[in-house]
Amino acid sequence: MCLNEIRKAVALTAHFPEVHFWRTTSGAEVDFVIETEKQLIPIEVKFSESYGPADFKNLLKFKATYPEKVDKMILLYNGPFKYNEKVIYLPFWFI
C-alpha cells in the first residue's frame, strides 16, 4: 500500500523521480528511496504509533553512505506529523 501511494505521489511531479529500496551486504535496509536528479530521500515505514532509536538506525547508515545527496529523511508511521532538521515524521494518512 505504501509503495503504491508513494508511486502515485511521485507520478504527479514534473521530473518523475525513481523509487527504489536499499540494502547492504550486511543486511541494513531502507524501505524506499526516492531518487531525483539532485537528491535521495530515504523512507522508513513503521506500523507503530511510536518510534525509537532502532527505527532510525538504517536511515542514518544510508545518510552516512550518501552524505552529499541526503538532506531530509522520512519516517512513515502511525503517529502524528512532526518535523525537525533531519527527519520528517509522516502519518500514513498523509500519503
pLDDT digits (tens, 9 = 90+) for 41-60: 999 999 888 888 888 899 99
Q: What is the rounded radius of gyration, in angstroms, for the C-alpha atoms of the chain?
A: 13
pLDDT in tens, 16-44: 677 888 999 999 999 999 888 889 999 99
* The total number of structural domains that make up the chain: 1
Q: How far apart are CA 49 and CA 58, in angstroms?
A: 19
The model's pTM is 0.81
Q: What is the CATH number of the domain that holds 86?
A: 3.40.1350
| pLDDT at 14 > cutoff 60 | no
The whole domain housing 39 covers 2-94
pLDDT in tens, 71-91: 999 999 999 999 888 899 988
Mean of all residue pLDDT scores within the chain: 85
- Average pLDDT score over residue span 5-14: 63
Q: How far apart are CA 90 and CA 87, in angstroms?
A: 9
